Amino acid sequence: MINKHSPLPIYYQLEQGIKEMIEKGQLQPGEMIPSEREWAEMYEISRMTVRQAINNLVNDGYLVRKRGKGTFVATKKIEQPLKGLTSFSEDMRARGMVPGTTLLAFHTIPASPSFASQLGIGEGEDVYEIRRIRLADGLPMALETAYVPCSLVPGLTEQNVSGSIYEFIENKLGLTIRSATQVLEASVARKLEAELLQIKEGAPVLLIQRNSYLQTGQPLEIVKSVYRADRYKFMIEMER
């Protein structure tokens, strides 16, 4: 792994070597890696050099530090292609994972001027506000807040929103969801978001707003989500 006669910096060689072990499956997600001292003794290099390599891998999302325990291989990020309109539950099932939901709040609120404009309804009309933690194999992936016109989806219940809202709307109400616009931004987790997503305050997150539309062109929902950047990434395929 280390060639001390190479023009490449030693920390970089170690970094690439560990990364290759992870990508080849020689180090598995959740597995603790050797300590800085063990790496240093193994290759007869300084602990400072090892620390630089490990820091880079932590920053790149390959490793994660757990205070008082050690450094572990990070869970592989879920890659979401930015084409096609699917629900969170459909995405997780397509990856062989079990989707789940923790319902935080479900009530009606009067539509603000901004929400009314985006949803094509009158200001002050009732909309459902649905706040949920979205889970994959029991682990929190995203904090999601959805706003849906009550007039469009009458009779929505806590049981319905504890699963896939898209499935309820299409399978039970017979409505067809046609399209959506989605905006992504980088941010950091605030205190409450960090607690609910089980990450540190200030950890990187992805802010996503999706506006969905029915086949008729009628606005269906506004969804504002906070995704864990250490577990989720988006992929865009482009052609020229």
**What SS3 state is found at 140?**
strand
Per-residue pLDDT of the chain (240 residues; tens, 9 = 90+): 788 888 999 999 999 999 999 888 899 888 999 999 999 999 999 999 999 999 999 887 788 888 889 999 988 776 666 667 778 888 788 778 888 999 999 999 999 999 999 999 999 999 999 999 999 888 899 999 999 999 998 888 998 888 888 888 898 889 999 999 989 999 999 999 999 999 889 988 999 999 999 999 999 999 999 999 888 777 777 788
52, 71, 90 — which closes off a domain? Answer: 71
Does any domain span residue 178?
A: yes
Give the torsion sign (CA, 119, 120, 122, 126).
negative
Residue 17 and residue 99 in one domain: no
Which of 71, 90, 110 is the C-terminal boundary of a domain? 71
Judgement on whether residues 167 and 199 belong to the same structural domain of the protein = yes
Residues 110, 142, single domain; the answer is: yes
Q: Examine the domain organization and report whether 222 and 146 are in the same domain.
A: yes
> 240 in a domain, yes or no?
no
148 and 91, same domain (yes or no) = yes
Cα-based angle 158, 160, 161 (whole degrees, multiple of 5): 65
Indicate the burial class of 239 (C-beta count within 10 angstroms; 0-12, 13-18, 19 or more): exposed
Exposed/middle/buried for residue 59 (C-beta within 10 Å: 0-12, 13-18, 19+): exposed
Q: Which domain holds residue 217?
A: 76-233
Backbone dihedral angles phi then psi of residue 187, each to the nearest 5 degrees = -155, -170
Is the residue at 239 inside a domain?
A: no
User: Measured between alpha carbons, how far is 15 from 57 in angstroms, rounded to an integer?
Assistant: 7
Number of folded domains that form the chain = 2
CATH classification of the domain holding 32: 1.10.10.10
Last residue of a domain, one of 23, 39, 71: 71
Q: Judge if 45 and 90 occupy the same domain.
A: no
Residue 1 within any structural domain of the chain = no
